[in-house]
Every structure is written in structure tokens, then in C-alpha cells.
Chain A
Amino acid sequence: MADLLSVPHSLSQKIRELIPKSKVLVVGAGGIGCEVLKNLALSGFQEIEIIDLDTIDVSNLNRQFLFRKEHVGKSKAVVARESILSYNPDINIKAYHDSVMSQDYGVNFFKRFRLVLNALDNRAARNHVNRMCLAADVPLIESGTSGYSGQVELIKKGVTQCYECQPKPPQRSFPGCTIRNTPSEPVHCIVWAKHLFNQLFGEEDPDQDVSPDTEDPEAKVDGEHSVTDTGNIKRTSTRQWAQEINYDPQKLFDKFFKADIEYLLSMENLWKTRKPPVPLSWQQAASHSGDGEMEDESDIRTTDMKVWPLSKCAKVFASTISQLKTDLADRNFLVWDKDDKPAMDFVTACANIRAQIFSIQQKSRFEIKSIAGNIIPAIATANAMIAGLVVLHAFRVLNEEYEKCPAVYLRKKSVHSKFILAADKQVSIANPSCYVCSPKPFVNVFVNVEAMTVKEFENELLKKHLNMVAPDVVLDGKGVVVISSEEGEMQANDDKQLIELGIVDGSILKCDDFLQNYELTVAVNQYEAKEKDDPLYKVVANKDELKAKEPANGKENGVDNNQNDGNDESDDDLMLIEYDEEDPQEGSSSKKRRINPPQDNDEDDDLCVIED
């Protein structure tokens, strides 16, 4: 009973006895994770395990208080463990510097815990842990913050909804032709610039082509197939060509910003209702005058905040290329990182040059970093509050008081300040047609069976969208194995269209993920993208939802929080905030709710006890 001494007295006797013997898993040692670990340690928890793949970055130090400058580059999980032990060496705490999505952490791993606490930064891992906890039937407390906002909710099989019960707004992605041919917003240029980085220095990805897209449906003239064939440029890869010319900045510049643009101009249909782009040569850009010099080049804050003039963009383009070329020399490829100076400078310069060409507003490096890095502002205060709420929920969960754990929200503003922290009136119940937690998970997918390959189906749909890790897929009724989780077993199918395997409108696929202990029935519906902005495929749990609203526009609040071009480059504590039309003033249970209530009349509706 000596353990009990370290458990707070104000808790009930039963909870006090449960705390020291309950083993908990903390997933993520970032902003919330650090705070959660501290709170657990100070609440008398004795058996803690922590898993995080990340290493410590300088930009973590403004809030992840278990880390110091000398820890930069080290494993978050390992350093967090050491910091907690230096406060209380008697706690049993185990650290894994690893991805929670790794095959090493199966259902049996999760079953060892009384409780799992998520302090994650991305949706894929959240979905995965959600499924693991459902499969292991372990309660999960899910949390996230974004700037001044945040939320905490309990996920318990059979009691509450799961993390995937409500469809989340899709992470914003852009059709390839918008990026390659007809950008109209700064973000399009920024995504293009990131793709260009990967083409030149990163891991090559055919989906990230930066050259003009001749297959753009809009560019097609009625009756004809396309304007020309692939043009006069030989189809060697961009990387190969860049290496051949030894990354000559002028040649690269003239190709991407002059030749390619001239080629785009030749696709006349595109420019009927659009302002055509203006090709820009290296000569023009480098000698561009009239944009004035930057005031103080040495002040990082100035260079970060101000929009670079064109001539500076050209200069930076050249200098970063030679830097990145050197960096590439002893490696196979570079990984783009918003916190890596040459990589970030390169994207800033390229995005702004392209913006200039397409008459799109240029942005400062600071702004571009936000968008390119999908940076969610983060501060210590919000993390502290949310982590406190997580551990209070944990107490109730230990006592099996699940119904006393409704979702709690932290609101950005104190305008409607009666509820800076507001709790739902009750726990949210599961969506009966949820394709994850319902007894017989089922989902409709809309794909073009004549165009989509098996590989695309697996990567885009099953893995990226439905978040499976290693699916086995069988065509129902026929027993045809479409996809196997065994490496290489069904590789021959990869490049076949779905239809070649007999998958047509109305087919049923049985998809099984052994790791997640998750079986999903997929009904296939034939669908062809018609409009330029139509997605390649759709996933709908319940057919009635088909008419549901379009994906939430990521531009609410003027902050493009949800912008993402597909690669998950999000910073920690990313939380996708959902919007709907409900009155946020009601503390009642709701499926989804606004984190930021609309701003209207000030504090007027605050209670005023005394009039002076």
C-alpha cells in the first residue's frame, strides 16, 4: 500500500487503489504527450509505456517541456522517459522509439494495457490506434490541440462512438491538372514547388509530376484526343535530365519557368476564360528590377515576413539548387523538411516565381512555410489544458465510469466565455453504419473499374483512405485473391485494372487486415470523374450520405488548416476541426461541433453580477 501515498487524496478510495496497478500506454511524446506523462506521474501511476517515432526538433522546445536544447535529434520517447524518471525514479516506465503502426504492436500488445492515451499528430496513426483499441477492447482517450483550441474524448467499444464513426473532412488535395497546368491560388504554386523539389532531389513519385499535363480534360479539343503528343521533350525523367545538365540553375529555370509555360500556352483551351501565364526566362528574372532591395537581409525576421522580390527569388533558386545538389551527393534522395533551410528557401523561391507567372499573389517565406509544412500553431497553454483533461478522464475510466466521460472542448476565445471548456452532456453513441466499429463493417466505394489499377486501389483507397496497413482482399463469391499482405504473392496483379480481375459495378470485396484485426466488406460502384475538380474515387459508409455536403472548405477562418497535398507533413498535435451549422452555445451532445463559435456580440452575454 505504500504506492498509495503518491496518489492524490481527493480521489475516491477505489480510484486511488486502481491507479498504481493500472498499466497505461501513451502514444506520442509531443506537446500533449509530455504533459500527459507528467500528469500521470504526479497522479501516482506506476506502470507507464510510451511510444513515439519522432526525434526532438528545435521547434518543439517552446512547449514540449521534458526536452532541452541538448536533446535535439534524440528520440522523444527515450528522453521523455528519462525526464520523468529524474522527477520520480520509482515509476516503471518503458519507452519505444518506434511507429505505433509497426507490425510489432499487434492486438496482443494493446491488450496488456488497462488504458491507452493518444497524444498523436496525424490522422493515419489515430485511425490505426482506434482500430487496435477496438480490437483489443481497451478504452482509448483521444486528444488534440490546434492553436488555442483542443478536444478530448473517450473511445470505448460498445459504449461510445469510435474515432472513425463520423467521416472526417478529407484532407485537402488538388487535382493534378490544377497543380500542373492551371494554378489559381498561392497554395497551388506551393504544392507544385514541393513536387518540384521531390522531382529534383527527393524520392521520385510519378504522381508528383510538375511538367504540363497534356491529359487535362479541359485542354482537349472536342473530338480530338489532345493537342499534341508528349511534345518535343524526350521522356526521360526530370531527375535524370537535371543530373545530365549537372543541375545548371539557369537551364533548370528556363525549362520550368519558360519552356514549360510556353508549352502550357500552346494548350489554348485552357486560357479561354483564364488569364494566360507569362513565361519568364532566367535573364528576365535575375535582372528584374523595380522591386527594390530587401531592407535588412541580415534580419531573419524581416526576410521571413516580407515577400521576396523576383530577383531575390531567382538568386535563391540558384543558390539553393547548388546547396541541395551538394547535399544530394552522398545520398540517394533528400526528404523535404520545412525546417531545413535550403529546402524551405527553394520552395519559397519556386512558389513565388510560379505565382508571378500566373498572376497569383506572392507570399512571404513565413506564410509559405505555414502552408507547405501544414503548420498548425501550437502553444504550451492549450496542451497543458488538454492533457489535464485527459488524465481526469483516465481516472473515471479506471473506475469504469465511461458515461461520465463526454467529449470536452477547449475553445479558442473567451468571447462566449461561459464555456471556455465545455463538455457534451453525454457520451456520443456509435454510428451504427460506421465502417470501423459496427458489428459488420461495410463501405461503398465509387471507382472507375476500367481505369483504376489494383495497386492504386490498394495504396490510394485501402491504405491511404481506409487506413489499412496490410490488407488481404478476396473477391466475394468467386474466391479470387486480389491483394495479399504476403510480400510479392500477388504482385502480378498490381498493374491490372480492377475490371481485369472481374471487379465490376456491384462486386463485393472482403478486405481483411490481420494486424488491425479488422474485416471490411467493400461494395464496388462504377464511377467516372466528370468535372475537372471531381475526386478520383469516393468512399461512403452509408449510401444516404452521398448527398451530404461537400468537403468542408479548408479556408474557414482565413487559415488553411486542412491544406495538404496528400503527403502527411503535418506538425504535431494536428487536429482536424470540423465545422457544421450547429449552435455552438448548446452544451448538448452533438455529432460534430464547432470549436470556434462565431464571433458576434462581444461579452454582452456574459453574466454581469454587479453593475457599478
Chain B
Amino acid sequence: MSSPSPKSPEQSDKSKKYDRQLRLWGDHGQRLLENSKVCLINATALGTEILKSLVLPGIGSFTIVDGEKISEEDIGSNFFLENDSIGLSRAQVATQSLLELNPDVRGDYIDESPEHVMAHTQDFFNKFTVVIATALPEKRFSSDAKLVAVSVNDKSGVATLTLQRPPVNSLNLELLTDISSGLTEIEKAKCRGVILTSSAESVFSAGLDIFEVYKPNPERLNHFWKVLQDTWLKLYGFPYATVAVINGHAPAGGCLLALSCEYRIMSKNYTIGLNETQLGLVAPKWFIASMRNVIGQRQSELALTAGRLFKTDEALSLGLVDEVVDNKEEGISKAEQFLSRFRNIAPEVRGMTKQLVREDTIKDLMKTREQDLNTFVQYALNPKVQEYLEKYMQALKTKVLIPLSRHLWDAQVPLVVCRSIGFLGYIRLQVKEHTVIETHPDSENPDLRLDKPWPALKEHLDSINVATLDQKTRSHIPAIVILYYYLNKYKEFHDGNVPRTRAEKDVLRKMIRDSPIPDEHGVKVLEENFEEAIHYVNTCLNPQTIPSNVQTILDDDSCINLTQNSSPFWVMCAALRELVQSEGALPVSGSLPDMAADTNSYITLQQLYYKQAQLQAEAVFRRASQIARNLGLPQDIITESEVKLFCKHANELHLIRGCCIADEYERTSLDLTSYLEDPDSLMFYYITLRGLERFISEFNTYPGQFDDQVEPDVLKLKSIISKLLSEWNCSHALRDERVHEVCRYGGAELHSVSAILGGCAAHEVIKLITHQYKPLNNAFFYDAITSNSATFCL
């Protein structure tokens, strides 16, 4: 004879490994955890700390999205990046280290920025159970690794050079460098022709990246312009046939690229033109020449001086573009048709001819390169120009957080946004709707229904006349029977009311205490079960009411007006609502506390409670299944075991309807008066953090990131914060030392703070995944200097 051993040792190992946490959320919670897919945006120290605390308890899988390369600073604060990994993909290295923590967990990574991922795969983030983002700015200037894609069709010999610098292919130093090297690559491949196009949906290229010109570093500015000259020279004088497939807007530098090609095919309803004057800039001579060579002196002058942008059809009639198409695909095939015109012409001959046509224009620039550069640099550094640019800037920035937040809000995927900076930490949960069945309240009173017993229970309890029992039976009956008996006696004397106040309860207690028959010595010995009955007077006689939060759920629109999109939770709620309407109370929980009693009478009683709970749960299950059927939902959406759990915890149901982060950021009024009167309110951190977010978005650095910039940054941050406050119509000012403090951190993460915050965020993510315990709603601030934290509902 041997004891039954589990079939697979692995399974038993798993429950052994997770033993300590199963005691918090049970098997069903663990199953949800093991089926979850978690996405982490940015593997910062905080990010990996969060993921560590999720990988250890065994989530199903994780995906890290992070386009950054590992820096020295990362190494100093992040345990999961090794010393020798500087310069490698942060996503990749973090994924590998985290996977070592738990062989049950799968993990992968994408070494691209989240905005890049969003731009290319719209629904990428929809597949996750929860998305966590750390150090994700409100907006930022994109920086991407691969800015240009080159593909060569071996059959047709046509190369395609696709600009892919989301969102709008702004021509910065890196993109230009990549275009230039892409052309070199194509040149080596001995192609018949090149198609220049864009991966963005509605933009060919938005032109020169104004960020290169706005508050520039002079050295980089010089370099940038030289590379622009080089790229233009290369494209303009490219030996092979060139076609621009302009599948979106092409202002300024975008137009220049198109004009440098031999042939232009443009999709309908976009705009094109050299609009520099509109931006307060003067187009350089070679820009002008590029246009003049296509549409002539007169039309060029008119267009350039007004800085006009032409609609596709206008551009066609002007000769600025050669063909109009409906979409990019059609554009590509037209471009291939154009290129096939040269099938019977010797490439060398064609090339030389082109060169002769374009020679003068090219020579003009070659001669004046240095002068052109100086003019540009001088011009760019002119404060007036900078002022113009400032205004234009904001529109060109990629919003990062806002679109992600909106997207996930619509997709109903929870988003957790966190930031750790110096001694300051912040967690924000965005959930459109989150429902919890098991909230694990601290204390639960037994649900006994002695004030309103259902018929079967009443019949059983009424059948026992406690006062007439013999000594032996008396000491074996369960406390509940005793309590019920004396409760009825009490009611007889009190107009049928149950005791409510302490004094009234004392009367009932006394009735029970006085009940024993004195023994031969005249001493009343109170049996254990009677002691228990007295003990239950306090907790078990509260009239059965429906908690207000549960009533709110039952009255919720989602409960009353079900649709095909209703979740099982709401279908069960609707069924529960019907039960409550007919019975006037929530279903009985069905469990009976331990009590001193003989087995039979305890079990009889236990069975009564258990059966009633079963009956009610079955009724709810039947009704829920029927509702699901009527709605056309799949049959298996409602399971009996889940309905049982739901009914057992009916009095602790919990619902959170959150607020979208995008709405929070776009809101224009915020009444902070009540908080700001308290100088210790952590609401100050909210304001500081919002100011910080805006600072990062505007200047692309953290305040105080560079030692010599701390003081100027303090001023900048202060002015940002006072602007924010005035936007919210708030008259308070922030204490200076808070701003100084934040600038002193210089954006650096303090590992211990990230550890605390990471634990806290992972905690909340587990609550979201397991649908157990109440998650925080909805923003958490932590101040490591005072060790205090606060939660606000934003």
C-alpha cells in the first residue's frame, strides 16, 4: 500500500514552489496569473523590479518593449543589466536576465520604442492582460534605430527606399545619414531605378526636423546641414532613375526630396510645397533651384514667396507632380511602369544624360557649400527664427503617453504608469472597468440569517425546544440553535423586534446565561456551546441588508442593460439582481463557523446552510445561463463553479470605474484648493510630477540632468509648474524647495526607491490579474524622504 502520488512531479513541484502565495489568492488566482500576458514598456530599474516581482510568482509571459540602448547609468541602478552590457539592447538583456528567475515563465522583447510599435502595429498592445509603462514621457521627439528601409526587387531590378521615422519622417541628422547610406547601398546593387516613399500613413516627410534647428548645439547644426547638402547632392545626381511615390503630405524638406527625383507620383488629397517662408525661414538657393527646374521660374517665385502648399490636384496641374493615384500601392505600380520606360535604353547612357541635365544645379551648390552653410547657421541662430520655431515645435512632437492611454482605454486593457525619480515615486492605474468578486475583507461575520430564516432552516430550528432538553443533549446542540431559540423568546417580549443596541443585546445574553438548571449544589454550570451562543450575539444578529456598494453594482447600467459585450460578471450580476428582487436578500454564503456540538446536529445544520447556498447558486446559475443564451453569448461563458464563488462572495462585490490618463492630461480645470491648504499634502507631488512630465516633453532631458544646468532648469521647471497651475485655474504656488529637490535628482533613479515602488506596482498588477483584493484607485505617490504615501482619485 502506498500513498497516492501526483501524476506529474512537475505539477507538485509547482504547487510547492508557489505554496506561500497560494495562501493569498488560491488556485484560481494562480491560474489567472499563469495565463496572464504582461507587457513592460521600458526596462528601467523600476520596470525590471516590477517584472521581477511578477516573474517570481509565475505570470504566464512577458514582453518588454524598449528601444533604448543600455547606458552606464542603467547599469548603476538596474540589477538585471550586467556590467559588460553597455550599448546593447536594454529590452534584450533585461529579458534574458528576468527569464532566469523562473523557468515557468516565457518572455520576449521588441527593441523598438512604444510609439514605433504603435505606429506599425496598431493593435499590438491589445493582446496583453496588463501593460506597464515606466519612464514614459507625455510626448517626445522620436528617435529610432532603423530610419530607412531598403529593399530590392530582384526580378524588376527596382529598389525601394522607404522612409520610416515615425511619426512623420522628419529629416534629422540620423535619417539623412541613413538615406544617404541607403542610396550608396542601392548604387552598389546596380539597380535599374529607385522608388522613394514613406512608411507613414499620411505623411511622405514633414521636412527638416525642426528639433535640429530649434535651440541647436552649433556643432551638430553644422554637421546636420552638411549632411543635408550631401544627401541632396547624392539624390539629385543619382545615376539611376528616381521616382518619388508621395503617399502623404510633403511640405518643405519633404517636397525637396520629391523634387530631387526625376518623376513624382502623388496620392490624392495631400499637400506639397516649399513653405519655408511660412515658418519664418528663407529657402536656400538649391531648394529654389530644385523647384525651378521642375515648374519654371515664374511659378516657383509665386509658390516660394507665399510659402504655398498645394493640394495634389493643384500640384498636378502645376506640373509639380506628374501623376495622381488613389493609394501607395497604385503609386508603386505606376512608378514601376515609369521605370520600365527605360528598359531598352542603356543605363550608362541614361545616367550620363541625366547628369548633364542636372550638372549646373549641382555645381552651383558645390561652389557655394561653405557660404550656404554659414548663411544657414547664422539664420538658424537668429532669435527671431528660434521664436517662430518654438511655436511650430509643439505640433510636431510625438505624443506617447496620451495615445497609448487612449488606445488601451478603448481596448479595455489595464495600463499601469510608474515613475521613480530620486526620492519620489508615482504609480497610476488606468482601468476602464475592473470588477472583483473576492475582495478578502479583513473580517467576516458569519452569515446565519437567524432574523429571517428560510423555511427549511426555520422548520429545523423551531423543532428544537432548547429549554426542555435533557442535560446531555443540551450540551451537544450547536450554539446557533440556542441563539435562535432565545432570540425568539426575546422577540416575544419585545414586539417581535430583534435586539440592536448593546443594552438590548445584553438582555438576550442574560437570558442565555441564566438558562442552565442549577445542579445539586445550586450552581449553574454554563456549557461551552452556550458560551459560544453568547459570543455570537454580537456578530450574528445584525439584520441582513444589502451593502450599499453591492446595491450600486446591481443598479448599475451595465447590470440592467446587458449587451453582447457584457462580461460574465455583469451577466451574473443581472441574474443575482433577479434573485435579490424576488427574495429581498443576497444569497446565503453557506458556510458555518466551527462550534462545539455533536457531529450529527452540526452536520444537519451545516447541510441546511450548504444546501440553501447551493439552491440559490443554482438558481442564479440557471438564470445567468439563460440570460447569456438570450444575448447570444457562448454557452460556456458562465460556469457553475464561478457562479458559486460569485454567490458566496455576493456581499463583497467590488467595482472600479477608472479615469483615462489622456482625459486627466487634457483637462483644463482642477480644484486643488482643499489639498494645497495643507502644506504636507502629497498632492504637491502630483503637481511636481506633472511639471516634470511637461519639462521632459519640452526639453527632452530631465531637469538637472546636466550638472551645469541645475539652476537654469529650476527656473524652467518653476515656470512650467506655474503655467500648469494657471491652466487649472489654481492660484497657489508651489514651494521652491520642492522644485529644487526634483532638479537635484537629475532624473536619476535611486534603486531602493525603485525597489519599493516596484513591489508596490507589482502588487497592484497581481490584484488586477487575479481579480482579487481591491486595487488602488487610482494614483499613488510615495515620498521616500518622509516615508509617507498617499492615494488620490484623479
Query: Interface residues, chain A, CB within 8 Å of chain B?
Result: 5-6, 8-11, 35, 38-39, 41-43, 58-59, 61-63, 65, 68-69, 87-88, 147-148, 184-186, 272-275, 297-301, 303-305, 315-316, 318-320, 322-323, 339, 341-342, 345, 356, 359-361, 366, 369-370, 375-389, 391-392, 406, 408, 412-415, 417-423, 556-558, 571, 587, 596-599, 602-603, 606-610, 612
Contact = CB atoms under 8 A, between A and B. Distances in A.
Contact of A304 (B15, B56, B475, B527): B15
Given A359-B602, A419-B789, A384 B774 contact: no
B528 A273 contact: yes
A394 to B, nearest CB: 9
Contacts of B753: 388, 392
Contacts of B602: 359, 361
Contacts of A369: 19
Given A148-B763, A606-B792, A39 B752 contact: yes
B54 to A, nearest CB: 8
A319 B3 contact: yes
B777 A603 contact: yes
A418 B791 contact: yes
Contacts of B582: none
Given A275-B475, A380-B762, A417 B776 contact: yes
Contact of A148 (B24, B444, B475, B528): B24
User: Which of B746, B758, B775 has the most C-beta atoms of chain A within 10 angstroms of its own C-beta?
Assistant: B758
Contacts of B396: none
Nearest to A596: B442
Nearest to B476: A275
Contact of A42 (B12, B79, B82, B599): B79
A273 B527 CA distance: 6
Nearest to B519: A272
30 contacts: A5-B76, A8-B76, A8-B77, A42-B78, A62-B17, A62-B19, A62-B20, A63-B20, A87-B79, A147-B24, A297-B4, A298-B6, A299-B7, A318-B1, A359-B597, A359-B598, A370-B23, A375-B20, A377-B24, A378-B21, A381-B759, A381-B760, A387-B755, A388-B756, A415-B774, A421-B789, A423-B786, A607-B683, A610-B659, A610-B794
A370 B19 CA distance: 10
Interface in B40-54: 45, 49, 52-53
Nearest to B27: A301
A384 B24 contact: no
B83 interface: yes
Interface of B: 1-4, 6-7, 11-13, 15-24, 27, 45, 49, 52-53, 56-58, 76-79, 82-83, 100-103, 422-423, 441-444, 475-476, 525, 527-528, 549, 594, 596-599, 602, 659, 664, 667, 670-672, 675, 683, 744-746, 748, 750-760, 762-764, 766, 773-777, 780, 782, 784, 786-794
Contact of B788 (A69, A414, A587): A587
A205 B382 CA distance: 92
A408 B785 CA distance: 12
A598 to B, nearest CB: 6
B79 A339 contact: no
A603 B793 contact: yes
Contacts of B791: 414, 417-418, 420, 606-607
Contacts of B24: 147-148, 377, 379
Contact of B3 (A38, A323, A389, A414): A323
Nearest to B778: A606
A316 B2 CA distance: 8
B52 A380 contact: yes
Nearest to A377: B23
Contacts of B58: 62
Contact of A606 (B1, B76, B77, B777): B777
A43 B597 contact: no
User: Which of A38, A378, A417 has the most C-beta atoms of chain B within 10 angstroms of its own C-beta?
Assistant: A417
A384 B594 CA distance: 37
Contacts of A412: 442
Given A300-B12, A318-B1, A381-B763, 9 more contacts: A10-B745, A69-B103, A356-B599, A377-B23, A384-B52, A384-B755, A423-B788, A587-B788, A609-B793
A379 B57 contact: yes
User: Which of A61, A378, A384, A391 has the most C-beta atoms of chain B within 10 angstroms of its own C-beta?
Assistant: A384
B788 A419 contact: yes
Nearest to A38: B79
Nearest to A317: B3
Given A42-B77, A359-B599, A35 B755 contact: yes
Contacts of B596: 184, 274-275
Contacts of B82: 87
Contacts of B667: 610
Given A39-B752, A65-B52, A319-B2, A88 B83 contact: yes
B664 to A, nearest CB: 8
Nearest to A298: B7
Contacts of A392: 752-753, 756, 784, 787
B23 A380 contact: no
B793 A65 contact: no
Given A43-B751, A275-B598, A606-B793, A380 B57 contact: yes
Given A345-B3, A359-B598, A10 B760 contact: no
Contact of B755 (A9, A299, A342, A385): A385
A610 B789 CA distance: 20
Contacts of B475: 273-275
Contact of A389 (B444, B528, B756, B777): B756
B11 A300 contact: yes
A42 B751 contact: yes
B788 A62 contact: no
Contact of A10 (B56, B744, B755, B757): B744
A274 B670 contact: no
A315 B1 contact: yes
Contact of B750 (A5, A8, A384): A8
Contacts of A342: 3
Given A419-B790, A609-B793, A10 B756 contact: no
A138 to B, nearest CB: 21
B594 A360 contact: yes
B766 A381 contact: yes
Contacts of A557: 442-443
A64 to B, nearest CB: 8
A59 B19 contact: yes
User: Which of A342, A387, A606, A612 has the most C-beta atoms of chain B within 10 angstroms of its own C-beta?
Assistant: A606
Contact of A388 (B4, B15, B755): B755
A186 B595 CA distance: 11
A376 B20 CA distance: 7
B792 A382 contact: no
A186 B22 CA distance: 21
Nearest to B4: A297
B573 to A, nearest CB: 18
B789 A422 contact: yes
B16 A339 contact: yes
A301 B15 contact: yes
B27 A305 contact: yes
Contacts of B763: 148, 381-382, 385
A609 B598 contact: no
User: Which of B22, B751, B762 has the most C-beta atoms of chain A within 10 angstroms of its own C-beta?
Assistant: B751
Contacts of B16: 58-59, 339
Contacts of A39: 751-752, 755
Contacts of B745: 10
B5 to A, nearest CB: 8
A60 B545 CA distance: 43
Nearest to A147: B24
Contacts of A382: 759, 763
A388 B11 contact: no
Nearest to B1: A319
Nearest to B654: A602
Contacts of A184: 528, 596
A282 to B, nearest CB: 13
